Structure 1
Amino acid sequence: MSYPKPVRKILLPALLLLCSTAFFGCTTKLPTSSPPATKKPAPAKPAAKAGRIPATQRPYQIEGKTYYPLPSAEGYSETGTASWYGAPFHGRKTSNGETYNMYDWTAAHKTLPMNTRLLVENLGNGRTTTVRINDRGPFVGSRIIDLSYNVAKDLGIIKEGTGRVRITALGEAETIQLADNKTATRFLPHEDFQKGDFYVQIGSFTVRGNADRLKEKMTREGWEAEAVLYDRGDKIFYRVQIKGGATLTAAKKIEQTMTDAGFPGAFVVAR
């Protein structure tokens, strides 16, 4: 996935929501019967050595599939199925070494950087909340995010077990050095994710000719298409992207058009 330059000024409502959830007091009691939980795999094993790259940013394998954590979450927006995990995993270690608390406002994602803050919207009922990524998953089907019990309850998907959501990156955490070798973490909001230079990625190839053929096909159909080179370090990819416009709303419409046209993996990126 190509990753963008920052886009401008964070939405005030999202920040207000973020602030409110950050200080939310968790008073819910543990349910008498364990809520349904998403299947969790054994701890992920790094797929390759990556020098001084943090362990949570290294490629890893689950059931034979390799996942490559993104270097940044700026401009990230995705729509898909959310699930949740609760009591069976309460108290266990998460992928970043924290202790999982089903009453915290956290979630698991396969590739977003740890401590990414996300705005999560339940597309079925319009409810929204914010979460912090502190785990990897879900590794079941096409699900895009695994929510803590408390988050799932807030969004209204406990009973069904899953729900269709839109997730949008609000910002990431940065560790800063203090005196006496102490450290602290501060939140760095992304700039306004609604305005910028948006594209819709419809394919990624290791062979340049395949990318060029798709780009030419889309150009003939009237789209402004590009084949963008991405060097991952161990392999080069050619990503075919369609111009999505200057707003996230416009880009999401084109994403849906591409999905309907036979590109089910289409997604919005910002530059």
Structure 2
Amino acid sequence: MPVNHALPLAALILLGGCMTAGGDRPIPVSATPANGPAADYPVVVGEPFTIGDTTWTPTDQMNYDAVGYAGVAGEGVVGVTAAHKTLPLPSYAEVTSLETGKTILVRVERRGPMVNDTLVELSRDAASELGMTAGQRVAVRLRRTNPPESDRALLRQGEQVPERMATPEALLKVLRRKLADQSPLLTPPPMPPGAAPDTAKSGSQVPSVMAVSVPPSEPIARTQPVPEPKAELKSGQVAKGDHVVQVAAFSVAASARAVASKLKGHVAACGKFSCVRMGPFANRAQAAAALEKARTAGYSDARIQRAD
């Protein structure tokens, strides 16, 4: 068939006309919009990275739903944004305070926080919207979501979105229990001058985190005496059926021994960690007083467990 050589030439002339305005000033044929769905791409997952001895592997997990603790970022971070260790960048998530049930929507834009015991780091604006202040840590639920474009656009512009429905108390109780039942590994309390610092590690590569509590400046008086354990233990061995209080776990045995001495407990081997335990006690009621003592000392995630 005959080929019309004039058509390509006409197309080039037409394209050249579209590329100039006012003589020789070029006009882009297409440009990436400052806002809009294209502003959320490309989505970056990233390579695994290590904090201490814990390796975190970013994944594009659509149904991500976890509980942990939220911290507040420094002053240089703006917008209603958040930092997370494994969620894609950018992505969107709902953050719920387990204290009040208030829920906000944030845009996850940064990798972090670079500590193992914090689930998410909120910008000052996001923290303020959730009711947090600088330096505060709050138990939260973090759930990845797929918000409408209108909400995405507001967050990309650094603005807040309409307030989410508050989480009912019945669900908050379930989430608080989930947080309490997570790994009991804790970071240690402040060490005395001259002592070697220690950091507890989860050894996990999944994005669940450990709770950490800061001991109060003044001890709280107990109204119930702590019963003495049934027998002196040397290696943390307990008889089946006994109850113990699992206080914390440390990667440095010396730190575990210092806490055990303070709480009149003992140290038991927990894999590659040294666990501080109190007991054994004959029943759960007796162990409850020891649990109160451990939590008063700042170990809010201490828990009672059976030896068997």
TM-score by length of 2: 0.35
Higher strand share: 1
Give the number of the structure with larger relative contact order, counting CA–CA contacts within 8 Å between residues 6 or more apart. Answer: 1
TM-score by length of 1: 0.39
